[in-house]
Amino acid sequence: MRVLIVEDDLIIADGLVRALTQAQYAVDHVADGKVALRAIQEGVYDLVILDLGLPAMDGMDILSQLRQTHHHTHGQSVAILILTARDELHTRIKALDVGADDFMTKPFHLEELEARARALIRRSKLGKNLPLQCANLSLDIASKLASIHDQMLHLSARELHLLETLMMRMGKIVTKEQIMESLCNWDSTLGDNAIEVYVHRLRKKIDPSGAKIRTIRGLGYLLEAAQAHPVA
Ligand code: CA
């Protein structure tokens, strides 16, 4: 899960980056509104935490630009959590009307923000169909627990991210670039070989479930159930 923090108060931003990184999200931070809009439109984020008062372009403008762009663009669907000051009731209402999914008033507790972030990601990605399931493999995004036949699967943080990325796009090809984006921050990189190693390890671990990671040569990977179950 990849989160973008848009906040020009560097102390608040730093706290958020630390807390969310610790909670196993891939986290990026920008302080400038225009840069933020471009980054969000690239479509790699699952959640944007957006401060309203920003240099270059304010948060409300970013929000309305994203929500009024054409259908099927990422800007329509990405979950957006607004950060506002305590006395800005009118602004909060406007933000929700324009299309924010939730808001937090400053100062806030990081634990609460994390809980809301989890809820938003779950809501926007999965509706109410929890957990994700592929053959006998299941993954609960909220608790970050993977299991096979109710037997807990022990995964490293990166294996878990990888599994999450593949399960979110089950039955579709996921490119190495997309995997890289979900596993890395801007300041860390991962080579092709490293991704192959993670895929190899994960493939072995999930093998008993009947879920298979297929290598699509030159394109990427695809997660699917080994045998398609006929629809009754
Ligand atoms: Ca600000």
Closest CA to 118 of 25, 22, 9, 215: 25
| Span 187-214, pLDDT tens digits | 567 777 889 999 999 999 999 999 999 9
Positive or negative torsion for Cα 65, 70, 75, 78: positive
pLDDT of residue 76: 60
Ligand 1 centroid from CA 8, angstroms: 5
| Span 135-173, pLDDT tens digits | 899 998 778 899 999 899 999 988 998 999 998 888 888
Second-level CATH architecture of 132-225? Orthogonal Bundle (1.10)
CATH of the structural domain 2-128, one choice from 3.40.50.2300, 3.30.1600.10, 3.40.630.30, 3.40.50.300 = 3.40.50.2300
Ligand 1 centroid from CA 92, angstroms: 14
Ligand 1 centroid from CA 112, angstroms: 20
Please tell me the distance from the alpha carbon of residue 148 to that of residue 131, in angstroms, as a whole number. 12
pLDDT of residue 144: 84
Ligand 1 centroid from CA 54, angstroms: 5
Helical (H) or strand (E) element with 203? helix 192-206
Helix axes 59-68, 89-98, angle to 10 degrees: 20
Query: Which residues of the chain register pLDDT less than 70?
Result: 69-76, 124-130, 185-188, 227-232
pLDDT of residue 62: 94
Cβ–Cβ < 8 Å for 5, 17: yes
Ligand 1 centroid from CA 162, angstroms: 33
pLDDT of residue 72: 47
Ligand 1 centroid from CA 16, angstroms: 14
Domain boundaries, the chain: 2-128, 132-225
Ligand 1 centroid from CA 19, angstroms: 19
